């Protein structure tokens, strides 16, 4: 029986971050495996990515339910039946209730395309450019009931260029998303991540040296 951490990935669309996790888990040395991919939207590209990799997929269409709670009950049961130990939100476009988050407390992580706690919610790239900040980026965090809230596991900072557009910035940040999601999962799977006083502590963390200035001159 595999000793690898069992992942359940929730998606709603193309699954580019799902693909980064698929690629990482195809390395035998990676300490986690994806046991199920669940989409709340039928026919999305992410389901094809999972099927191509031989991963079990399920569609639980939220439109088949009158309320969020019955939808989440079915979702919860599907994750449990697959033996999921860590739930990874990867472009899952549904707001989860406090009840669902509580059932998966500290076993539910999300990726967000900004440097949280700045620019929670949607349209992060437009808002970062409009605010005139010099850096944006992406964040992996444990999920809490409030939107885009919770202990931060990893972040990548991406400089904003003077002539940036939201699409251009989004493309550069997406490249970094594909790097830090597998990193965060690996840290958790290796047992190096703990939460103390709502802050993530990482055992034997290696932090970067130096600083980055934007603009450089």
Helix axes 45-52, 16-25, angle to 10 degrees: 10
H/E run at residue 137: strand 135-142
Q: How far apart are alpha carbons 57 and 74 in whole angstroms?
A: 14
Buried/exposed code over 149-184 (b: 16+ C-beta within 10 A; e: otherwise): bbbbbbbbbbbbeeebeeeebbebbeebbbebbbeb
| pLDDT tens string 130-180 | 999 999 999 999 999 999 999 999 999 999 999 999 999 999 999 999 999
- In the chain, the percentage of residues whose pLDDT exceeds 90 is 99
CATH 3.40.50.170, domain 1-104, yes or no: yes
Total-model pTM: 0.96
Region of residue 141 (phi > 0: left; psi between -120 and 50: alpha; otherwise: beta):
beta
We find that the CATH architecture of domain 112-138+155-206 is: 3-Layer(aba) Sandwich (3.40)
| pLDDT tens string 78-130 | 999 999 999 999 999 999 999 999 999 999 999 999 999 999 999 999 999 99
- Are 92 and 11 a contacting pair, CB within 8 Å? yes
Q: Find the catalytic residue in 62, 76, 112, 141.
A: 112
| pLDDT tens string 185-205 | 999 999 999 999 999 999 999
Domain ranges of the chain: 1-104, 112-138+155-206
Residue 202: CB partners within 8 Å, gap ≥ 6?
Answer: 153, 187, 192, 193
Is 112 considered catalytic here? yes
Instruction: Return mean pLDDT, the chain.
Output: 97
Question: What pLDDT, on a 0 to 100 scale, did the predictor assign at position 1?
Answer: 55
Question: What pLDDT, on a 0 to 100 scale, did the predictor assign at position 47?
Answer: 98
Whether the pLDDT of residue 211 is over 70: the answer is: yes
């Amino acid at each position: 029986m595999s000793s690898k951490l069992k992942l359940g990935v929730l998606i709603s669309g193309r699954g580019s971050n799902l693909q980064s996790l698929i690629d990482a888990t195809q390395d035998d040395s990676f300490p986690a495996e994806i046991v199920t991919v669940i989409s709340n939207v039928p026919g999305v590209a992410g389901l094809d990515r999972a099927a191509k990799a031989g991963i079990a997929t399920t569609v639980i269409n939220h439109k088949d339910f009158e309320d969020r709670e019955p939808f989440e009950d079915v979702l919860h049961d599907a994750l449990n039946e697959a033996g999921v130990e860590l739930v990874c939100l990867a472009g899952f476009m549904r707001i989860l209730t406090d009840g669902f988050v509580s059932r998966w407390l500290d076993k539910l992580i999300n990726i967000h395309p900004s440097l949280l706690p700045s620019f929670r919610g949607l349209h992060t790239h437009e808002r970062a450019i409009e605010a005139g900040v010099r850096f944006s980026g992406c964040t992996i965090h444990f999920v809490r009931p409030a939107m885009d809230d919770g202990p931060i596991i990893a972040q990548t900072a991406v400089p904003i260029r003077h002539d940036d557009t939201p699409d251009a910035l989004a493309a550069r940040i997406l490249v970094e998303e594909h790097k830090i999601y597998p990193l965060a999962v690996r840290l958790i799977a290796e047992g190096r991540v703990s939460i103390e006083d709502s802050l993530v502590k990482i055992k034997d963390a290696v932090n970067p040296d130096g600083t980055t200035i934007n603009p450089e001159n």
